[in-house]
Amino acid sequence: MSRRTRLISGAVVVVAAIGLWLLWPDQEEPRARQYTAATACLLTPAAGLTDKDVAPVWDGMQKASLSTHGKVRYLAVIGEQTPANAATYLATLAIGGCDLILAAGPAPAGAVDANAASYPAVRFVVVGAGKAQANVTRVTEPDPAGTTEAVRGLVGTALKAAA
């Protein structure tokens, strides 16, 4: 092979490498979901996410998280299902960095009714009837689909505002 052929072959390889480098796609999107610092928390009865009153609330929270990239989490009330016992779990969420606390089920809702005034800077959403308070929003939809959509809207707004 002549010197000229080798130089041309080398130049072709260099040009091809540069072209490939320039045309190579950017890095793939990260596989892990990137969350904002905003968090919505759900207080549930002992059955947790399997409770029939909780399932549409959690569904709405997850849908809001998908659209806002805010975090959602839950905490189940263990032991006696009373507002007094649930108040301890509510306090954990209230001082634990939740931007919005939702309550589903009789004991969690009762805990919010009795203690929301103690946390004036925290926003609450209670699914079901209860006591009217300045920092508490009620969701009283008659069907699960309506509850899911109402929660999705409330949580989505709160997560966007907190981000």
Kindly state whether residue 127 falls inside one of the protein's structural domains.
yes
Residue 108 lies in a domain: yes
Residue 11 lies in a domain: no
Which structural domain range is residue 63 located in? 39-162
Q: What distance, in Å, lies between the first and last C-alpha atoms of the chain?
A: 65
Rounded to two decimals, what is the model's pTM?
0.78
Is residue 74 within 8 A of residue 41, CB to CB? The reply is yes
- 98 alpha-carbon distance from chain centroid: 10
Domains held by the chain: number: 1
Q: Is residue 111 part of a domain?
A: yes
What size, in residues, is the chain? 163
What's the CA gap between 77 and 107, in Å, rounded? 8
β-bridge mates for residue 41, sequence order: 73, 101
How many angstroms separate the CA atoms of 18 and 43, rounded? 57
Residue 60: φ, ψ to 5°: -65, -40
> Quick check: is 65 in a domain?
yes
Report the CATH number at residue 108: 3.40.50.2300
Residue 31 lies in a domain: no
Q: Is residue 6 one of the residues assigned to a domain? A: no
Query: For every one of its 163 residues, what pLDDT tens digit does the chain have, with 9 covering 90 and above?
Result: 677 777 677 667 666 667 666 666 666 666 666 778 789 999 999 999 999 999 999 999 999 999 999 999 999 999 999 999 999 999 999 999 899 999 999 999 999 999 999 999 999 999 988 888 999 999 999 899 999 999 999 999 988 887 7
Domain assignment of residue 125, yes or no: yes
